[in-house]
Amino acid sequence: MDPFRVLLIGGIVVGVTLFGGVILNMLRAAMRRTQDASLRPADGSYEARLERIETAVEAIALEVERIGEMQRFSAKADAARLERPRAVERPVTPH
């Protein structure tokens, strides 16, 4: 066989393989999209679930804010307690 025919046949084999791979991946993606759509409930339960998750996240954020406020207050109170000078203790003498 001459080199031109070898290159031609090799190019056709490579081209068909690449084209087949692209088509195969496109078909797989289309199948995944249809499977994902079939798994979703049609009654809108995702919206209700997302609303419950949003409410829970807001409650957690509020509690974290309260904890932060408590820690700031506690640190401020500790700092004020340490700044306050102690009264000088005098020795107790009997009279």
* Confidence label for 21 from pLDDT (cuts 50, 70 and 90): confident
Highest mean pLDDT among 39-43, 48-52, 56-60, 75-79: 56-60
Residue 31: how many other CB atoms lie within 10 Å: 10
Could you tell me if residue 95 is inside a domain?
no
User: Does 64 score more than 70 pLDDT?
Assistant: yes
How far, in Å, CA of 71 to CA of 61, rounded? 15
- Same domain for 14 and 30, yes or no, is yes
Residue 52 domain boundaries:
44-81
DSSP annotation of 42 reads T
Q: What is the pLDDT of residue 20?
A: 87
pTM of the model: 0.43
Highest mean pLDDT among 5-19, 41-55, 59-73: 59-73
Could you tell me if residue 89 is inside a domain?
no
